[in-house]
Chains A and B, each alone.
Chain A
């Protein structure tokens, strides 16, 4: 089975070629089937790999030599270990479900073939990212998913705002990618190689807090902040909701945005040896988690709520990484992929039923009309809120337990964030599914449950969201934490350096009780506010808001801030270059040459008087001058 690894990325690539080339020729059913089958085939191979693989050390599959210059040898090869296998399962598994869902969701869209070719291309690059055995292959995937993200956000590019959102995502990702790229250069100059299997053993022998390692890890983390939407580069992700909803679920919730976490987990030994970077990651992660959660509280667009929720959950993952809970962070990647993909697909189902209405102020009372969507989304909401025994509880709790051991203040803020999460998620559920319908009559008559191709992925993901947490039941609850054992070889190097979780059981129980209690209080508060008190709707845009709500609703003015400090100065500088350098300098030179010719000609043309005698006289003078000249010369 391990010999077939090269087929895993190849299938989606072939799917991309077929769907892309045949997008106007093949019927929609064929395109949907081919694209879905390509990903399902990869998923089957990944599953086989998962059951067969039992090596404690990574297996490198060398495909061909790629760059071999001087002392640098960058082969095109794949690395198979527990981490990449789990990522493969997430990408191809959730990818398959979302492909199936999309065949229903996009069925009325004119760009059906284009959409599926992009989706397959995305899966290909994402697989390359997680399979690559060195930072350069990872970077190919890293850039490729960025490209696909751009293409899919701007999928309906005839809408100017959507095209702008795509550009924003692309440019913000470039800023982060620059950090990643420079980080890779520093790695090459430090270790003389880009292969994980050569760098990590060398790094093992370096001392903790080494300045070069700190530089490398900070640069890599900058790359991660771009891709995984962390402060200060997170503002592209909410705007990325301009893309079709399956894209939001696949790229902007389950897979691509977790690439940064994957990269840090992959390079865990480098980060473990840089305590400064670890602290930065923890603080940035927590700040992102809280700020995004506060913004999510007042958003009225159902997808925006989920987008900020994603940013917030990614913040939790980085918080976990920052305190050294690599397994916990990766566990959260896994469970988050389940429930956030589910929530996005559920939101897509709601939007589909509401005839493309995304404003929650116009929804309400959809519980009866969309029963399957309602039940599955409720599962997802319970999971993300962190109520036992749903999956989110275990992963979030593991992160928070590590944070508690690391720093009590961070833990308190983290629990606050969890409460905010529960509040805004239930606010979204209450506004959407409870109460009376607030949309137009036309929308009301059109309400319908989604087709089976859309509900089956919802059901599968709902089941995974409920039971997904059981792969990591901690010891204190009588489990054995299968995931920690499975991933142990990957984090071996860091494990020996990080202290084990040494909380006693009663402390752990208290921590769990506090966070669950907080979450329940938040849910009750949301219930009182939005159901008991007669549906306190978020006010319309024109009505005044309280100061705090205004800050939250306007996203802490991040966009305005960036406009003021980055865009405006750039505009002024461009204006200067345009007016001074371009207009007066370059244009002045070119136009001056033209004007000079015209002026000179205007003067010279007066010589042509029309008097034939003058012409002949000039000719004779000329002949005489030439004669005199030639006499003088000899």
Chain B
């Protein structure tokens, strides 16, 4: 454990933060500009994992394990979310023969 922590601390903290921010931004932009539901889904995973990475880095730097425990919870949550999300996408595909989210514009008024 100390070994891993030491290994993590080889890279300075700022670099982790920057990397996370970049990954998160890629995720946001992906969600905003893509229309394919699966790609949007993957972008959401990117955002989640950017946060996970940041949590693990902070945890290692501050010597507090609870950050890493959080990461495990988020992973479990993400897995559940993926199950439901993919199921929805399958149902959307069956109904519309497409996974383009702009077809789903009846969700209004």
| 4 nearest CB pairs, A to B | A610-B108, A610-B105, A608-B108, A612-B101
Residue B94 is within 8 A (CB to CB) of chain A in the complex? no
CB contacts (< 8 Å) of A616 on chain B: these are 31-32
Bound complex: CA of A612 vs CA of B35, how far in Å?
9
Let me know if B32 and A609 touch, CB within 8 A.
Answer: no
Residue B89 is within 8 A (CB to CB) of chain A in the complex? no
* Residues of B in contact with A (beta carbons under 8 Å apart): 28, 31-32, 35, 101-102, 104-109
Question: Chain A: which residue is nearest B102 at the CB level?
Answer: A611
Least Cβ distance of B95 to chain A in Å?
Answer: 16
Bound complex: CA of A616 vs CA of B107, how far in Å?
14
Cross-chain contact of B28 among A611, A612, A613, A620 (Cβ < 8 A): A620
Bound complex: CA of A610 vs CA of B108, how far in Å?
5
> Could you show 21 A-B contacts with beta carbons less than 8 Å apart?
A605-B109, A608-B109, A609-B108, A610-B104, A610-B105, A610-B106, A610-B107, A610-B108, A611-B102, A611-B105, A612-B101, A612-B102, A612-B104, A612-B105, A612-B107, A613-B35, A613-B101, A616-B31, A616-B32, A620-B28, A620-B32
Bound complex: CA of A617 vs CA of B33, how far in Å?
9
Interface positions, chain A 601-625, Cβ under 8 Å from B, are 605, 608-613, 616-617, 620
Question: Chain A: which residue is nearest B34 at the CB level?
Answer: A613
Least Cβ distance of A487 to chain B in Å?
Answer: 90
Least Cβ distance of A16 to chain B in Å?
Answer: 67
Bound complex: CA of A613 vs CA of B32, how far in Å?
6
Question: Chain B: which residue is nearest A624 at the CB level?
Answer: B28
Bound complex: CA of A610 vs CA of B102, how far in Å?
8
CB contacts (< 8 Å) of B35 on chain A: these are 613
How many cross-chain pairs have Cβ atoms below 8 Å apart between A and B? 27
CB contacts (< 8 Å) of A608 on chain B: these are 108-109
CB contacts (< 8 Å) of B101 on chain A: these are 612-613
CB contacts (< 8 Å) of B105 on chain A: these are 609-612
Least Cβ distance of A625 to chain B in Å?
Answer: 15
Let me know if B109 and A613 touch, CB within 8 A.
Answer: no
CB contacts (< 8 Å) of A611 on chain B: these are 102, 105
CB contacts (< 8 Å) of A609 on chain B: these are 105, 108
Question: Chain B: which residue is nearest A605 at the CB level?
Answer: B109
| Interface size of A in residues (CB-CB distance below 8 Å) | 10
Bound complex: CA of A561 vs CA of B14, how far in Å?
99
CB contacts (< 8 Å) of A620 on chain B: these are 28, 32
Least Cβ distance of A194 to chain B in Å?
Answer: 72
CB contacts (< 8 Å) of A610 on chain B: these are 104-109
Q: Which of A608, A609, A612, A620 has the most CB of B within 10 A?
A: A612
CB contacts (< 8 Å) of B31 on chain A: these are 616
Q: 1/0 per residue A552-571: CB within 8 Å of B?
A: 00000000000000000000
CB contacts (< 8 Å) of B32 on chain A: these are 613, 616-617, 620
Bound complex: CA of A610 vs CA of B109, how far in Å?
8
Bound complex: CA of A613 vs CA of B101, how far in Å?
8
CB contacts (< 8 Å) of B102 on chain A: these are 611-613
CB contacts (< 8 Å) of A605 on chain B: these are 109
Bound complex: CA of A576 vs CA of B28, how far in Å?
64
Least Cβ distance of B102 to chain A in Å?
Answer: 7
CB contacts (< 8 Å) of A613 on chain B: these are 32, 35, 101-102
Question: Chain A: which residue is nearest B106 at the CB level?
Answer: A610
Least Cβ distance of B28 to chain A in Å?
Answer: 6
Question: Chain A: which residue is nearest B108 at the CB level?
Answer: A610
Bound complex: CA of A137 vs CA of B31, how far in Å?
87
CB contacts (< 8 Å) of B107 on chain A: these are 610, 612
Q: Which of A605, A611, A613 has the most CB of B within 10 A?
A: A613
Q: A610-B109, A612-B101, A613-B101 are in contact. List 4 more A-B contacts (CB 8 A).
A: A609-B108, A610-B106, A610-B108, A611-B105
Least Cβ distance of B88 to chain A in Å?
Answer: 12
Bound complex: CA of A117 vs CA of B35, how far in Å?
86
Least Cβ distance of B31 to chain A in Å?
Answer: 6
Bound complex: CA of A620 vs CA of B32, how far in Å?
9
Least Cβ distance of B36 to chain A in Å?
Answer: 12
CB contacts (< 8 Å) of B109 on chain A: these are 605, 608, 610
Question: Chain B: which residue is nearest A611 at the CB level?
Answer: B105
Bound complex: CA of A35 vs CA of B61, how far in Å?
102
Q: 1/0 per residue A514-525: CB within 8 Å of B?
A: 000000000000
Least Cβ distance of B105 to chain A in Å?
Answer: 4
CB contacts (< 8 Å) of A617 on chain B: these are 32
Bound complex: CA of A611 vs CA of B107, how far in Å?
8
CB contacts (< 8 Å) of B108 on chain A: these are 608-610
Q: 1/0 per residue A10-45: CB within 8 Å of B?
A: 000000000000000000000000000000000000
Interface positions, chain A 444-490, Cβ under 8 Å from B, are none
Bound complex: CA of A317 vs CA of B104, how far in Å?
95
Least Cβ distance of A63 to chain B in Å?
Answer: 75
CB contacts (< 8 Å) of B28 on chain A: these are 620
Question: Chain B: which residue is nearest A615 at the CB level?
Answer: B107
Bound complex: CA of A611 vs CA of B104, how far in Å?
7
Question: Chain A: which residue is nearest B107 at the CB level?
Answer: A610
Q: Which of A608, A610, A617, A620 has the most CB of B within 10 A?
A: A610
Bound complex: CA of A103 vs CA of B35, how far in Å?
95
Interface positions, chain A 576-634, Cβ under 8 Å from B, are 605, 608-613, 616-617, 620
Least Cβ distance of B71 to chain A in Å?
Answer: 22
Bound complex: CA of A605 vs CA of B109, how far in Å?
6
Least Cβ distance of B46 to chain A in Å?
Answer: 14
Least Cβ distance of A562 to chain B in Å?
Answer: 61
Bound complex: CA of A608 vs CA of B107, how far in Å?
8
Bound complex: CA of A443 vs CA of B17, how far in Å?
113
Bound complex: CA of A371 vs CA of B28, how far in Å?
112
Least Cβ distance of A612 to chain B in Å?
Answer: 5
Bound complex: CA of A612 vs CA of B109, how far in Å?
13
Least Cβ distance of B48 to chain A in Å?
Answer: 15
Bound complex: CA of A609 vs CA of B104, how far in Å?
11
Least Cβ distance of B8 to chain A in Å?
Answer: 28
CB contacts (< 8 Å) of B104 on chain A: these are 610, 612
Question: Chain B: which residue is nearest A607 at the CB level?
Answer: B108
Bound complex: CA of A609 vs CA of B35, how far in Å?
16
Bound complex: CA of A556 vs CA of B35, how far in Å?
92
Least Cβ distance of B33 to chain A in Å?
Answer: 8
Least Cβ distance of A608 to chain B in Å?
Answer: 5
Question: Chain B: which residue is nearest A623 at the CB level?
Answer: B28
Bound complex: CA of A83 vs CA of B42, how far in Å?
107
